[in-house]
């Protein structure tokens, strides 16, 4: 089957549901991740500081930094039609991931961090210190998410949306295991 014919054909109710439900389940599973993290962080030492660091700084900044690559899923679903387009968008994905990871590093590892988070936003010092470590720990996030979303779009294009949902389930189970160890 060629890439260009991977998603052609009539859009019946059953084909729509077959493509939609695993993607909807994937988003539902992803939305469960943050409350699970908060539940574990709330049971660690100094929960007020660490909950503020995670939810108010680390997660918020990680989302802002990764924002330019969120649409890679839609881009790869639409644009990857053959080997040449796959390679071209793959190169773009790696360049974007590397660039955003570098931006992330510049924010967390330079005087930009205390200025932006401490002075501009006004985050108190204990939260500022805890959040800096958290933001450093999620440094691989932009590149990893770029690569994941690029590949998820290709899976959807080929009619394998179920694999996206299963992958999200596996990711959530792995995170739950790691969180359980930390609990």
Give residue-wise pLDDT tens across range 52-100.
999 999 999 999 999 999 999 999 999 999 999 999 999 999 999 999 9
Q: Looking only at Cα atoms, what is the longest distance across the chain?
A: 58
* 6: in domain: no
Q: How far apart are CA 161 and CA 21, in angstroms?
A: 9
Task: Look at residue 31 in the predicted model and tell me its pLDDT.
Answer: 85
* 129: in domain: yes
Q: pLDDT averaged over the chain?
A: 90
- Residue 145 host element (H or E): helix 141-157
* 59: in domain: yes
Which residue range is the domain that position 25 belongs to?
12-182
* 135: in domain: yes
* 3: in domain: no
Q: How far apart are CA 149 and CA 93, in angstroms?
A: 9
pLDDT in tens, 29-44: 888 888 888 888 898 8
Q: How far apart are CA 32 and CA 92, in angstroms?
A: 30
Task: Look at residue 183 in the predicted model and tell me its pLDDT.
Answer: 67
Q: What is the mean pLDDT of residues 101-123?
A: 98
Q: How far apart are CA 72 and CA 76, in angstroms?
A: 6
Domain count, the chain: 1
């Amino acid at each position: 089957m060629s890439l260009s014919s991977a998603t052609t054909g009539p859009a019946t109710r059953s084909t729509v549901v077959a493509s939609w439900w695993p993607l909807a389940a994937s988003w539902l599973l992803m939305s469960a991740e943050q409350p699970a993290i908060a539940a574990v962080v709330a049971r660690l030492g100094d929960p007020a500081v660490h909950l503020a660091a995670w939810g108010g700084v680390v997660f918020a900044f990680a989302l802002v930094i990764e924002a330019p690559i969120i649409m890679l899923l839609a881009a790869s679903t639409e644009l990857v039609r053959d080997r040449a387009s796959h390679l071209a968008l793959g190169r773009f994905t790696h360049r974007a991931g590397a660039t955003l990871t570098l931006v992330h590093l510049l924010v967390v590892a330079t005087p930009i961090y205390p200025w932006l988070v401490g002075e501009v936003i006004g985050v108190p010092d204990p939260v500022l210190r805890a959040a800096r470590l958290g933001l450093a720990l999620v440094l691989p996030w932009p590149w990893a998410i770029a690569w994941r979303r690029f590949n998820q779009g290709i899976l959807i294009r080929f009619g394998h949306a179920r694999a996206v949902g299963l992958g999200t389930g596996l990711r959530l189970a792995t995170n739950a295991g790691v969180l359980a160890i930390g609990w």
